[in-house]
Each structure stands twice: as structure tokens, then as C-alpha cells.
């Protein structure tokens, strides 16, 4: 396989002098506003900008792109940790094998069912299944059974409609088996693309194989997956390098398969019990640089979903929403059994994979979103109607996907308001919905259709979408 990440090229580009004059930046941002993305060299130029006025121009462009493509909607999900068993020794992670501070646990199917029931009681419709990179004696079949269990749980207020999966990289044949489980996106982070740093941080276990992890998305696409999600754990190495390497990875996938990642995740390293390194990140990313990361990625890959987790505090999350985030976790717990035994608002990192910055329950997150004009979306329609992979991008790039996304966001949020919201949130939520129908849906026919769907939801029908 050809070299995916060219270290020498990236380092040379980071170090060389580049024109970052106002005229050059304005030209790049003008091209960005055409919503077709920008090239590698243009990204490199934006990364070097430090002037406050020019940064504001970058931010304003990212805001414009976010609003044009995604509007003010944000897709919500919850991570569901089913196991913290792990054979790897990753120096930044609480789940690492040698961490004696951690109680090891793999949920049985009844315990998984309990966790799902709690998530359904909060209003969740989409989960990300997460497991430490070792399972039980059942091996990969444990994951398959867990997926089946999650989908099987029903309540009087709904069920989980889509499961995305974040587990260890698989062989092509194993990916084929996973793909039969009716999941959405397969997600895996490279953590750091810098191979030397990667090897220093992943000192034992299967994850120490840098190349095998890097090529996981190739194998997933070869096995028939339509949607994959990639990511970087910022703070392990120079963030400028990581962005350029991540874009190189995307370019490789697009060249080989005609399709890049469906999502990009951008976690920053947070304290993890039993990991000294996590308390003192070797390349800590400031809040200002983190905002630049989000803005530049939104400009570079406008139609790719960008995911922000509850690692970040509520203030940073609000800033990030506007700059380009399209999906967020809410009310998260990052340990097996955490929804049953965890306490919202607690800052203790014990048993969690990492410390949470936003410890609010989902209802409070939603209340805050509505207050700031964002509509929570629980939509899973694209997965279920086959609008995935290339089919999704064929609709997204000409802007046609908006005809589906906002109506579905509105209808799924209305479900939440009727089934879970208190009177105050219900009033504020429907005011937001009505404003969005009038201001953000241009076609009268679509407005009428949405209002008809809302009437159907009011009468008690659920899970309708376009």
C-alpha cells in the first residue's frame, strides 16, 4: 500500500514560510464560501494565521458554512460503554491494561438492556457502542450479541433507532460480519497520526501496530461499509501536524474508494485515572487553537459531520456549535454501567475512561441548546432509507439533503417534547420549531408537509420521516 501519511512532506510544509497576508486569506475564504471545500495548501495557510482580525474572518466563514449546510440543528447521541476490558497499554487512557486503579467490567446482556432502558427514558434514539479493545471469552460475537440486545429493547416511548460502533480495528472478514448487524457508522480514531509518537504512547498490545490501525478504514470500505468515522485525540502531538495528516488520510480514502469519512471526531485529551500523561498533555491545545481547529475543518470538509463529545465544558461546546460542530453527545457516561450507577454533575473521574467537562443530564443540555437557538435532532432517517455513503454525498453536495434534514430534525424534536419535556421546555421548544418552519424552510409545500407531520406526531404516531 502506498504511504498514506508523508511525514517529511508535512514537516517541510509546517516549517516553510507561507503568504498569510489579508489578501491571500480573503481569497481562500471567498473560495470556501462556495461550499466545495478547500485544498490542502489552503488549509495549511489558514493554520498559520494568528492575526486576530484574520482569525475572525476565518470564524465568520466557518459560521456561514455551518449555517448554510447544517442550519442550527445538532444531532444528539449517547455513548454506551459495554466493556472496559483492554489488552493495550496506551499511556493516556484509564482503560490501559496495567491500570490497577480501575475495576474491570464487561456488561452482560441483561445489564446492557438496563443501560438502554435508562437511555430511552431520557429520550435518546441513537447510541455509539464503545468497548475496550478486548472483549469477553465470546470474542467478537459479544459485540454482535450486544448490538442485537440494544436494538431489541422497546419502551412505551421508543427504541434505539441506530447504533454506531467504536471498537478495535478488524480484518476484512470481521468487518463483513459486523456490517451484517445493521449498524450505522463504524468509528475509529487514529489517536495520533505521528508514527514515532504513536509508538511511544502505545507500548504494548495489538494497538501498538500503527499501520494496522491506520489501514482499518480501507478494510472497512473493502468489506462494504458505506460510512466510517475517523478522529484525532488532540494533545498527543502538534495539532497542526495532526490536521494535515488527517486530511492526507481523507485524501487517500477519497482517491481509493471515491468516498471520505462520514464524520470526524475531535476530542482533546482529558485527565484519566491512572494516567499521569493525561494530566500533563505533551502538546496541550489551548481553547483558541481548538476553535481554530473546528473552524478550519468545517471550511476544509464542509459536508463531513464533525463530532464534539462531553469532554468539553458547556461554554466551549456552545462556542463550538456555531463554528462547525454538527453532532454532540449529551448526558454521557464513559464506563460500563455508568448510566445506572453514575451521578450527573459529578466531577469524579473514578471508573470513567476520561474526565467529563459537561456533566449535565441530556434534558439540561437540550434546554440550553433551545435557549441559544439550536434544534436538537434525533433523526436516523438517512441510515434507514439508504441515504449513506456516496448516495448521501450526492444529495449533500448540491444542497438537497437540507430538504430532508431540517424537517426530520423538527419532527424528531417534537417527539422528544411531547414524550419527555416539562411544560417550560415544551413551550420554548415548540416556539423554536415554529420559528424555524417560517424562517428556515423556504418551500411552502415543505412547510405544509412538516406541519402535517407535526399533527401526526401530536396524535401519537412516532418515527415518521422524509
pLDDT digit string (tens) for 348-383? 556 788 889 999 999 999 999 999 999 999 998 887
Residue 120 belongs to some domain of the structure: yes
Answer yes or no: do 109 and 243 share one domain: yes
Whether residue 464 is contained in a domain is answered as: no
CATH number for 189: 3.20.20.70
Nearest to 121 by CA among 424, 460, 422, 420: 420
Q: Are residues 136 and 80 in the same domain?
A: yes
As beta bridge partners, residue 128 has 79, 164
The answer to whether residue 259 scores a pLDDT higher than 60 is yes
Q: Please state the rounded mean pLDDT for residues 397-411.
A: 82
Element (H, E) at 94: none
Q: In b/e form, how buried is each residue of 41-61, taking b as 16+ CB within 10 angstroms? A: ebbbbbbebeeeebbebbbeb
Structural domain tally of the chain? 3
- Joined together, the cell numbers standing for residue 107 give 456488561
Residues 79 and 53 in one domain: no
Instruction: Give me the pLDDT at residue 384, please.
Output: 81
The reply to whether 466 falls in a domain is: no
Whether the per-residue pLDDT at 396 is higher than 70: the answer is yes
The β-bridge partners of 89 are 204
The arithmetic mean of pLDDT across residues 344-348, rounded, is 59
Asked if pLDDT for residue 399 goes beyond 70, the answer is: no
Does residue 182 share a domain with residue 99? yes
| pLDDT score of 157 | 86
Same domain membership, residue 100 and residue 56: no
Q: Does one domain contain both 90 and 62? A: no
pLDDT score of 286: 97
Question: What's the whole-number average pLDDT of the chain?
Answer: 93
Mean pLDDT of 383-392: 79
Q: What pLDDT shows up at residue 341?
A: 87
Q: How confident is the model at residue 242 (pLDDT cuts 50, 70, 90)?
A: very high
The region of weakest confidence among 138-147, 161-170, 384-393 is 384-393
Model confidence at 389, pLDDT cuts 50, 70, 90, reads confident
Alpha carbon distance 263, 227 (integer Å): 8
Q: Does one domain contain both 277 and 290?
A: yes
Instruction: Please give the pLDDT value at position 400.
Output: 66
Residue among 19, 46, 14, 31 nearest 297 (CA): 46
Indicate whether 179 pLDDT > 90.
yes
Band (pLDDT 50/70/90 cuts) for residue 134 is: confident
pLDDT recorded at residue 138? 87
Rounded CA-CA distance 125/203 in Å is 37
153 and 20 share one domain: no
- 284 located within any domain: yes
Same domain membership, residue 357 and residue 242: yes
* Residue environment code for 247-282, b if the CB has 16+ CB neighbours within 10 A, otherwise e: bbbbebbeeebebbbbbbbbbbbbbbbebebbeebe
Residue 384 domain flag:
no
Residue 79: phi and psi, rounded to 5, are -75, 140
Residue where a domain stops, chosen among 67, 83, 112: 67
pLDDT digits (tens, 9 = 90+) for 28-86: 999 999 999 999 999 999 999 999 999 999 999 999 999 999 989 999 999 999 999 99
On whether both 108 and 207 belong to a single domain, the answer is yes
Which of 48, 67, 86 terminates a domain? The answer is 67
pLDDT band at 459 (very low <50, low <70, confident <90, very high): very high
Which domain-ending residue is among 378, 413, 435? Answer: 378
Same domain for 206 and 332, yes or no, is yes
d(CA 52, CA 58): 10
Whether the Cβ atoms of residue 359 and residue 309 lie closer than 8 Å to each other: no
Is residue 346 pLDDT above 70, yes or no?
no
Rounded (10°) CA dihedral 223, 225, 231, 237: 20
DSSP-derived secondary structure letter, 234: B
Q: What integer is the mean pLDDT of 194-214?
A: 97
Domain range holding 77?
72-378
Above 60 in pLDDT, residue 1? no
Domain check: are 310 and 249 in the same one?
Answer: yes
What is the mean pLDDT of the segment spanning 307-330? 95
- Summarize the confidence of residues 267-273 as an average pLDDT: 94
Which of these ranges, 74-78, 382-386, 400-404, has the smallest mean pLDDT? 400-404
What sections of 194-335 are H helices per DSSP?
Answer: 195-201, 210-214, 216-222, 239-257, 276-279, 287-300, 314-323
In a domain, 2, yes or no: no
Question: What pLDDT sits at residue 2?
Answer: 66
Residue 97, domain member (yes or no): yes
- Render 271-292 in DSSP notation, one character per residue: -BTTBHHHHS-TTPPPHHHHHH
- In a domain, residue 414? The reply is yes
Amino acid at each position: 500500500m502506498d504511504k498514506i501519511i508523508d511525514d517529511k512532506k508535512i514537516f517541510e510544509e509546517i516549517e516553510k514560510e507561507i503568504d498569510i497576508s489579508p489578501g491571500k486569506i480573503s481569497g481562500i475564504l471567498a473560495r470556501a464560501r462556495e461550499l466545495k471545500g478547500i485544498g490542502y495548501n489552503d488549509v495549511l495557510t489558514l493554520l498559520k494565521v494568528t492575526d486576530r482580525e484574520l482569525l475572525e474572518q476565518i470564524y465568520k466563514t466557518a459560521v456561514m458554512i455551518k449555517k448554510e449546510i447544517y442550519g442550527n440543528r445538532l444531532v444528539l447521541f449517547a455513548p454506551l460503554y459495554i466493556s472496559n476490558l483492554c489488552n493495550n497499554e496506551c499511556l493516556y487512557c484509564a482503560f490501559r491494561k496495567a491500570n490497577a486503579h480501575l475495576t474491570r467490567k464487561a456488561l452482560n446482556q441483561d445489564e446492557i438492556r438496563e443501560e438502554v432502558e435508562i437511555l430511552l427514558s431520557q429520550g435518546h434514539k441513537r447510541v455509539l457502542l464503545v468497548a475496550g479493545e478486548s472483549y469477553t471469552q465470546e470474542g467478537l460475537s459479544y459485540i454482535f450479541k450486544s448490538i442485537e440486545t440494544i436494538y431489541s429493547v422497546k419502551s412505551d416511548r421508543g427504541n434505539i433507532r441506530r447504533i454506531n460502533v467504536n471498537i478495535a480495528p478488524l480484518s476484512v472478514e470481521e468487518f463483513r460480519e459486523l456490517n451484517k448487524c445493521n449498524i450505522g457508522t463504524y468509528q475509529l480514531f487514529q489517536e495520533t497520526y505521528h508514527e514515532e509518537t504513536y509508538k511511544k504512547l502505545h507500548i504494548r498490545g495489538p494497538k501498538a501496530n500503527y499501520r494496522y490501525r491506520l489501514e482499518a478504514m480501507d478494510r472497512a470500505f473493502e468489506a462494504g461499509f458505506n460510512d466510517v468515522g475517523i478522529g484525532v485525540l488532540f494533545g498527543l502531538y502538534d495539532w497542526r501536524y495532526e490536521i494535515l495528516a488527517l486530511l492526507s488520510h481523507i485524501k487517500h480514502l477519497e482517491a481509493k474508494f471515491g468516498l471520505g469519512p462520514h464524520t470526524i471526531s475531535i476530542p482533546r485529551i482529558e485527565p484519566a485515572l491512572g494516567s499521569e500523561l493525561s494530566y500533563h498533555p505533551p502538546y496541550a491545545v489551548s481553547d483558541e487553537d481548538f476553535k481554530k481547529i473546528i473552524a478550519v475543518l468545517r471550511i476544509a470538509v464542509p459536508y463531513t459531520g464533525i463530532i464534539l463529545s462531553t469532554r468539553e465544558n458547556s461554554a466551549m461546546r456552545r462556542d463550538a456549535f456555531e463554528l462547525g460542530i454538527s453532532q454532540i453527545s449529551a448526558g454521557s457516561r464513559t464506563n460500563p454501567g455508568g448510566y445506572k450507577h453514575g451521578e450527573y454533575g459529578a466531577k469524579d473521574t473514578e471508573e470513567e475512561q476520561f474526565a467529563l467537562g459537561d456533566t449535565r443530564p441530556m434534558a439540561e443540555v437540550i434546554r440550553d441548546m433551545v435557549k441559544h437557538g439550536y434544534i436538537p435532532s434525533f433523526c436516523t432517517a438517512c441510515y434507514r432509507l439508504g441515504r449513506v455513503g456516496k448516495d448521501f454525498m450526492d444529495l449533500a453536495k448540491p444542497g438537497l439533503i437540507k430538504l430532508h434534514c431540517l424537517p426530520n430534525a423538527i419532527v424528531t424534536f417534537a417527539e422528544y417534547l411531547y414524550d419527555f419535556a416539562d411544560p417550560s421546555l415544551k413551550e420554548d421548544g415548540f416556539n423554536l420549531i415554529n420559528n424555524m418552519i417560517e424562517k428556515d424552510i423556504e418551500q411552502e409545500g415543505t412547510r405544509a408537509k412538516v406541519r402535517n407531520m407535526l399533527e401526526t406526531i401530536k396524535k401519537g404516531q412516532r418515527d415518521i420521516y422524509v
